[in-house]
Amino acid sequence: MKKWERAWIGGLAVLIFLILWEAAMPLGLVKVADISRPSLVAKAFVELAVSGEVFQPLVISLKEFLVGFVLALIVGIPVGIVLGRYRFFSMLFDPLLMALYTMPYLAIMPLLVVWFGVGLGATVAVVFLGAAFPIVINTAVGMREVDPVWVRAVRSFGGSEWDVFRKVLLPGSVPPMMTGIRLGVGRGLLGMVVSEMYASTEGIGGLIGLYGNSFRTSELIALIAVVSVLGFVFVDLMRRLEGWVNKGRAEAQW
């Protein structure tokens, strides 16, 4: 009973929202061209899916995102580990990294387009920039904030520096690293859509720009829903992974 409360109240709220939205136009509150209606959006969605128009851009977008994101992982985690492990490097690079992190990575879109070319290059670059910073910073912070008691415990049992690194620092920094990766997913996806809307007609963002320019509201909202679901799936996946990693540890303590 209590368990389902969240689900049914949430479901009811969404339903009411959809009904109001559907009714707004017949009631003459707004023009249909402006806000469309859920039924029209659903129809547009089905048409986009049936004609297959949405799939190729989706594949392109996913490819761009994954390339940029995997690059961010490959570069970000080792850099984070080095910065977290060696005080010298972190002191040398922290202010520089912070200055770059403060800069809105989306704002350098026009530069990326020139440097890496419209399309794949610029999008991969902006996804990489968006995702890499939180990964680097959270990994480094995670390594630094591992409880020193554990480090002392390993040392007191005669463990080597390598043991300390492998048995304490690395596993200890996993939860913050996961948080960084989750933040990186959100920023990467945002970068992907911005890049595609800004510079190219490719990808799901390009499609959104296209339908936006021709004022086709129903298709536009259907596409926003697609992007929305995409974001939700990725973020939820990361959250589950995070929860799973943390749960594994909580149990491992006993």
**Interface with other proteins (CB under 8 A):** 5-6, 9-10, 12-14, 17, 33-34, 88, 91-96, 99, 102-104, 106-111, 113-115, 186, 189-190, 192-194, 197-198, 205, 208-209, 211-213, 215, 217, 220-221, 223-224, 227-228, 231-232, 234-236
Least distance in Å: CB of 17 to other proteins?
8
Which CB sits closer to other proteins, 10 or 243?
Answer: 10
- Report the residue number, 6 or 162, with the smaller CB distance to other proteins: 6
Question: In the bound complex, what is the minimum distance in angstroms from residue 99's beta carbon to other proteins?
Answer: 7
- Using the minimum distance from each CB to other proteins, give the nearer residue, 153 or 190: 190
- Least spacing, CB of residue 172 vs other proteins, in Å: 23
Q: Min. distance of Cβ 162 from other proteins in angstroms?
A: 26
What does the alpha-carbon distance between residue 77 and residue 111 come to, in Å, rounded to a whole number? 26
Question: Which CB atom, from 168 or from 187, has the smaller least distance to other proteins?
Answer: 187
Least Å distance between CB 2 and other proteins? 9
